[in-house]
């Protein structure tokens, strides 16, 4: 499979990838500490879960295709100390597989350092994140975005 840099992507796919990763990182950074404080103090900020859900849903509606398990994260509001998507520290490897499908392998450098990949494809006339897979040994396993 050929490997490309992020700059080799179409402008639209590059903007979607970077926009999605930037907004997800900002969401996790913003809500990770608030979530911890709520758990530690047993005092959930009024409507914190609702606000987290609504903010995350806006990001997903903009960048992620609906279907399957893609939106499961919106329901469970997972956020961690080291954001899952971090343009500042993640290593990105782009593998183009077709005219309208792009695989982006993301290698974490902080936290548990998993390797996962996003598939971007044209959906309803625009580029969207359509799936995410986590590397387990030599296999890829589908997981929520």
Give yes or no for a contact between 58 and 52, defined as CB atoms under 8 angstroms apart: no
pLDDT for residue 46? 65
pLDDT for residue 37? 81
Q: Is residue 134 part of a domain?
A: yes
pLDDT for residue 6? 58
Q: Is residue 19 part of a domain?
A: yes
Count up the domains in the chain and report the number. Answer: 1
Give yes or no for a contact between 123 and 34, defined as CB atoms under 8 angstroms apart: no
Domain extent, residue 100, equals 6-143
Backbone angles phi, psi at 132, to 5 degrees: -140, 140
pLDDT for residue 8? 57
Q: Is residue 122 part of a domain?
A: yes
Q: Is residue 1 part of a domain?
A: no
Q: Is residue 24 part of a domain?
A: yes
For residue 95, give the CATH number of its domain: 3.10.450
CA distance 145 to 129: 8
pLDDT for residue 108? 93
Question: Which three-class secondary structure state does DSSP give residue 100?
Answer: coil
Beta-carbon contacts of residue 46 (< 8 Å; ≥ 6 apart): none
pLDDT for residue 35? 86
Q: Is residue 85 part of a domain?
A: yes
pLDDT for residue 125? 87
pLDDT for residue 120? 96
Q: Is residue 135 part of a domain?
A: yes
Average pLDDT by stretches of 10, the chain with 145 residues:
59 92 97 85 75 97 95 92 93 82 92 89 92 94 95
Q: Is residue 109 part of a domain?
A: yes
Q: Nearest-CA neighbor of 35 among 81, 70, 82, 83?
A: 81
pTM reported for the whole predicted model: 0.88
Q: Nearest-CA neighbor of 104 among 113, 112, 92?
A: 92
């Amino acid at each position: 499979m050929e490997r490309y840099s992020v700059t080799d992507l179409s402008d639209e796919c590059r903007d979607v990838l970077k926009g999605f990763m930037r907004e997800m990182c900002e969401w996790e950074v913003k809500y990770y500490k608030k979530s911890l404080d709520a758990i530690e103090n047993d005092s959930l900020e009024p409507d914190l879960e609702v606000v987290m859900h609504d903010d995350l849903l806006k990001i997903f509606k903009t960048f992620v295709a609906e279907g399957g398990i893609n939106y499961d994260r919106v329901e469970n509001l997972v956020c961690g100390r080291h954001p899952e998507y971090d343009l500042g520290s993640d290593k990105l490897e782009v593998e183009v597989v077709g005219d309208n499908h792009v695989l982006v392998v993301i290698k974490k450098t902080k936290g548990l350092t998993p390797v996962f990949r996003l598939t971007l494809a044209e959906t309803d006339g625009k580029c969207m994140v359509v799936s995410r897979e986590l590397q387990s040994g030599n296999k890829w396993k589908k997981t929520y975005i």
